[in-house]
Structure 1
Amino acid sequence: MTSELLEIQPRELKFTFELKKQSSCSVQLGNRSDQYVAFKVKTTSPKKYCVRPNIGIIKPKATSEFTVTMQAQKVAPPDFLCKDKFLIQSTYVPFGTTDEEITSGMFSKESGKYIDEKKLRVVLISPPHSPVLLPNNGELKKDPSYDAALHKDIAQNGIENIPPPQRLEEDVAGCPAKDIEVLKAAKDAESRQADDKMNLESAKELVEPKLIKDFEELKSKLHLMDSKLREADHTITKLIDERSAAIREKDLLKHEVELLRRKSMKRVQVGFPLLYVCTVALISLAFGYLLHL
């Protein structure tokens, strides 16, 4: 199996940045394998971007596409640089798996499955035919020299000679060293915050499936123990019933024995034994015979 499951185009998310306007870009994913592959898209700034769809299934040698929309922003980032990142996770899934069957556990490394991860960075570009912008307290402001040059071209030629868009870094080159150091420190802090957020989300993705698995195992054990307790309770009840029945049978036998004993005693008291009667008869006959002599 190849280590790279998906072919991703492009490898950067480029957004045309304009204040208070949304911007979108599309990413195409190609399945390089002969198996079904599931993918999931995550970002360090989930409130800032909208990903549709953020999960999906790609058939063997097929392609899929998702769109990322950056919400309208009120403030431009320092130096026109963005530290936001996107993470695309992919893994093999059984043949015939559908989008509805995708779960977070599929992308958990705790399951032992191979998870391919690719990071995409965000690049902001200036809109075409836009005036040169300068950062001013976190907001983009139009360069005054641009307006002067523009009016001069209009006065001389009668048309607007709009210069091509320039990188914001060129405009910031003339800033004081102190301001540049402040901007760099702010960028570093933002980068560390983004990385920490990415690590936190990755740790959350790892911990949540483990907690769910432990909870399911505990729930299964409790269910098994409850079944065993019910079975033991049933056995105890059965034994108690059997003991009660044995006691009743014992009492009944005692009663019957007592009745038989009483009957035998009554028979002895009512008549004489046959041997006694025979002996008395013989003695009487002998005594009578002697008397006749």
Structure 2
Amino acid sequence: MSTGELVTVDPLDLKFILELNKQISSSLKLTNDTDNHVGYKVKTTNPKKYCVRPNTGVVLPRSTCEITVTMQAQKEAPPDMQCKDKFLLQSVIAKPGAATQDITPEMFTKDSGNVVEECKLKVVYVSPTSSTSSNGLGGSRMHVDSRDKSSEVRALILKLTDEKNAAVEHSNRIRQELDLLRRGSNKSQGGGASLVFVIIVGLIGLILGYIIKK
């Protein structure tokens, strides 16, 4: 964190968990503890590699804003995981009620007598396997594992839903067959037919109860 007269910048290191062939974002927070409108501008030594949004803006008095820096997808990682890219955040006092469109490049020119506050930011690459948490596991790995577990849970829910629907459909068929047997038993004569009906009804009830519990 850097505490200047105009804004506080946090953090001073833009950390990127380096995953190849994937855009990666990092963010920093600007806090204006003054009663003035503060205009800011973000510069980088490698503008083709990074996208800064918003790269120019206004921090209102006693408020905070967030800047997102997105690094373009990298095809390979440097052998030493070191990055020489730098960022420079410049801030100046703007006129009361100033908006983003009122911030011009000339405001950050010191030759014009403007008081420009500057804060330098470093880029730090973090390996997915070296980002550790309190239990010793890599933060990125945990994120991947979390996504994998989430996929497994969704798959299990879908499977259980299909099984439930199949069980309900099967139970409906059994009920229909039970109604047919009941109608047939009412028309049949003799105690033997009634006994057979009772046995069949009992067996169907046991099967239906087992399917529903499952």
Q: TM-score, normalised by structure 2?
A: 0.58
- Can you list the C-alpha shifts for 1:220-279, whole angstroms capped at 9, x where unaligned? xxxxxxxxxxxxxxxxxxxxxxxxxxxxxxxxxxxxxxxxxxxxxxxxxxxxxxxxxxxx
How far the C-alpha of 1:3 sits from its partner, in A, is 5.4
Who is 2:70 aligned against?
69
How far the C-alpha of 1:128 sits from its partner, in A, is 4.3
Equivalent positions of 1:1-293 (< 5 A) are 4-128=5-129
- Greater RCO, CA 8 A, separation 6+: 2
Q: TM-score, normalised by structure 1?
A: 0.43
* C-alpha RMSD of the superposition: 2.0
SS in 1 for 2:80: helix
User: Which letter does structure 2 place at the counterpart of 1:91?
Assistant: V
How far the C-alpha of 1:19 sits from its partner, in A, is 1.2
How far the C-alpha of 1:29 sits from its partner, in A, is 0.2
SS in 2 for 1:120: strand
SS in 1 for 2:122: strand
Larger radius of gyration: 1
Measure the CA separation in 2 of the matches of 1:14 and 1:126: 10
Measure the CA separation in 2 of the matches of 1:16 and 1:92: 34
Structure 1 residue runs of 5 or longer lacking an equivalent are: 131-162, 166-293
Percent identity among equivalent residues?
A: 54
Measure the CA separation in 1 of the matches of 2:114 and 2:4: 12
User: Which letter does structure 2 place at the counterpart of 1:55?
Assistant: T
Aligned residue pairs, count: 132
Measure the CA separation in 1 of the matches of 2:129 and 2:76: 19
- Can you list the C-alpha shifts for 1:17-47, whole angstroms capped at 9, x where unaligned? 0111111011110012111100000100000
Q: Which has the higher strand share?
A: 2
SS in 2 for 1:80: coil
Measure the CA separation in 2 of the matches of 1:15 and 1:3: 25
Residues 33 and 129 of structure 1, relative CA distance in 2, 3 Å threshold: closer
SS in 2 for 1:114: coil
User: Which letter does structure 2 place at the counterpart of 1:113?
Assistant: N
Residues 75 and 108 of structure 1, relative CA distance in 2, 3 Å threshold: same
User: Which letter does structure 1 place at the counterpart of 2:11?
Assistant: P
SS in 2 for 1:110: helix
Measure the CA separation in 2 of the matches of 1:129 and 1:38: 37
SS in 2 for 1:86: strand
How far the C-alpha of 1:129 sits from its partner, in A, is 8.0
Measure the CA separation in 2 of the matches of 1:5 and 1:87: 15
SS in 1 for 2:61: coil
SS in 2 for 1:100: helix
How far the C-alpha of 1:126 sits from its partner, in A, is 1.1
Measure the CA separation in 1 of the matches of 2:35 and 2:62: 6
